[in-house]
């Protein structure tokens, strides 16, 4: 896990996010490809790598206020 200092949000790889939320990696990829997750809000792209913002996903899935 890596830290994103601007808003103290954890960045997770697709595998780490899938394990944390107990979903398949493909489910996260499907949400992204269906534009249900917004770039910059829910994830960032560094080269070919996607890093998901943990707090934004918690809010998206209704697990955090």
Domain containing residue 36: CATH number: 3.90.105
Residue 65 domain-assigned?
no
pLDDT, position 1: 47
Cα separation of 48 and 46, whole Å? Answer: 6
pLDDT tens digits for 35-55? 999 999 999 999 999 999 999
Q: Which domain holds residue 21?
A: 2-60
Residue 23 domain-assigned?
yes
pLDDT, position 43: 96
User: How many C-alpha atoms does 61 have within 13 Å on its Cβ side?
Assistant: 16
Domain tally, the chain: 1
Instruction: Supply the DSSP string of the chain, one letter for each residue.
Output: -EEETTTTEEEE-HHHHHHHHT--HHHHHHHHHTT-S-BTTTEEEETTEEEEEHHHHHHHTTS--
Mean pLDDT of the chain: 89
Please give the share of the chain, as a percent, with pLDDT higher than 70: 86
Residue 40 domain-assigned?
yes
């Amino acid at each position: 896990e890596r830290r994103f200092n601007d808003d103290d949000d954890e960045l997770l790889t697709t595998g780490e996010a899938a394990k944390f939320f107990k979903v398949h990696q493909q489910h996260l990829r499907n949400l992204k490809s269906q534009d249900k997750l917004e770039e910059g809000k829910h994830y960032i792209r560094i080269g070919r790598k996607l890093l998901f913002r943990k707090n934004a996903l918690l809010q998206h899935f209704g697990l955090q206020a």
